[in-house]
């Protein structure tokens, strides 16, 4: 196992994590993620390279702006570190090949969706489009390569298996029960996730997301933090299920088949 490669992948992950922080804050505000440099949200001072080294700048500056000493959110180093660790785990799980590029892109999108949906209860269409682009890349790779991916039909079926059931549930709850239980963003999320994962890995992703979401919802209501009927974003739970399925979905799927 090449320690140099591991270090480089981790560093690439924390750098990408820094960019994901930009996406998390700017996309809901419909601000450009490419234009305008970073600045302190308190005093407006432009941040330079010394302020922007992922993780390390936060630690060295003790989480404060060099100019006004206002404390920065701990989200910055946490997202950077999580992204680096997840990218490193991808390498340890799959090795250095095209698979980890696809899954790294998916994980990056999931992180942004999770934070935005948790805070704003929306999944922006720009992130859905990004997911579809990754899904199409996965499909093309499955068509023109052998020995790495499943048959391309697995991913096409995954696309419909991911979006169609949730769409039907949404239509039923909207027009029959007269209430919205599933948002359009969740439907699109699972559709592009199915295109990337394939239907086999989508099954545990669905199951884990639904179970974890139900457990958390019950706990929130039991602790009076949420009341029956309050909206709870479902996207973060689906993203968690997808993440778990990336690393363990095949094992879970095989275990389930082995029960019969």
Q: What digits encode the pLDDT tens for the residues 156-211?
A: 999 999 999 888 888 887 777 667 667 789 999 999 999 999 999 999 999 999 99
What are the structure tokens assigned to 124, written together? 């922006």
Burial of 231 (0-12, 13-18, 19+ CB in 10 A): exposed
Q: What is the DSSP letter of 96?
A: S
Burial of 89 (0-12, 13-18, 19+ CB in 10 A): middle
pTM score of the predicted model: 0.92
Q: What is the pLDDT of residue 20?
A: 97
Judge contact between 66 and 49, C-beta under 8 A. no
- The parts of the chain modelled with pLDDT lower than 70 are 1, 44, 146-147, 177-178, 180-181, 229
Say how far apart CA 107 and CA 86 lie, in whole Å. Answer: 8
Q: Residue ranges of the domains in the chain? A: 1-96, 131-260
Q: What is the pLDDT of residue 243?
A: 97
Q: What is the pLDDT of residue 247?
A: 96
Phi/psi zone of residue 97: left (φ > 0), alpha (ψ -120 to 50 degrees), beta? beta
Burial of 220 (0-12, 13-18, 19+ CB in 10 A): middle
Q: What is the DSSP letter of 143?
A: H
SS3 of residue 177 by DSSP? coil
Q: What is the pLDDT of residue 1?
A: 61
Q: What is the pLDDT of residue 181?
A: 66
Q: What is the pLDDT of residue 11?
A: 96
Q: What is the pLDDT of residue 94?
A: 93
Backbone angles phi, psi at 8, to 5 degrees: -65, -40
Q: What is the pLDDT of residue 169?
A: 84
């Amino acid at each position: 196992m090449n320690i140099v490669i591991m270090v480089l992948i981790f560093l690439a992950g924390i750098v990408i994590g820094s960019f994901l922080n930009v996406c998390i804050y700017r996309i809901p505000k419909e601000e450009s993620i490419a234009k305008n440099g970073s600045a302190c949200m308190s005093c407006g001072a432009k941040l330079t390279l010394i302020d922007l080294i992922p993780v390390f700048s936060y630690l060295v500056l003790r989480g404060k702006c060099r100019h006004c000493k206002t404390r920065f959110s701990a989200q910055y180093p946490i997202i950077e570190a999580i992204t680096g660790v997840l990218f490193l785990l991808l390498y340890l799980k799959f090795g250095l090949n095209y698979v980890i590029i696809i899954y790294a892109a998916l994980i990056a999108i999931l992180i942004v969706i999770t934070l935005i949906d948790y805070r704003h209860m929306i999944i922006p269409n720009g992130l859905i489009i990004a997911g579809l682009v990754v899904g199409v890349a996965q499909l093309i790779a499955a068509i023109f390569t052998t020995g790495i991916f499943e048959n391309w039909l697995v991913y096409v079926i995954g696309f419909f298996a991911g979006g169609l059931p949730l769409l039907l549930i949404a239509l039923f709850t909207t027009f029959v029960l007269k209430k919205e239980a599933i948002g359009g963003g969740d439907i699109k999320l699972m559709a592009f996730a199915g295109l990337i994962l394939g239907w086999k890995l989508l099954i545990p992703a669905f199951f884990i997301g639904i179970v974890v979401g139900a457990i958390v919802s019950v706990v929130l209501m039991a602790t009076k933090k949420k009341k029956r009927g309050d909206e709870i974003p479902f996207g973060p739970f689906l993203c968690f299920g997808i993440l778990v399925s990336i690393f363990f979905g095949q094992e879970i799927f095989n275990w389930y088949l082995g029960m019969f």
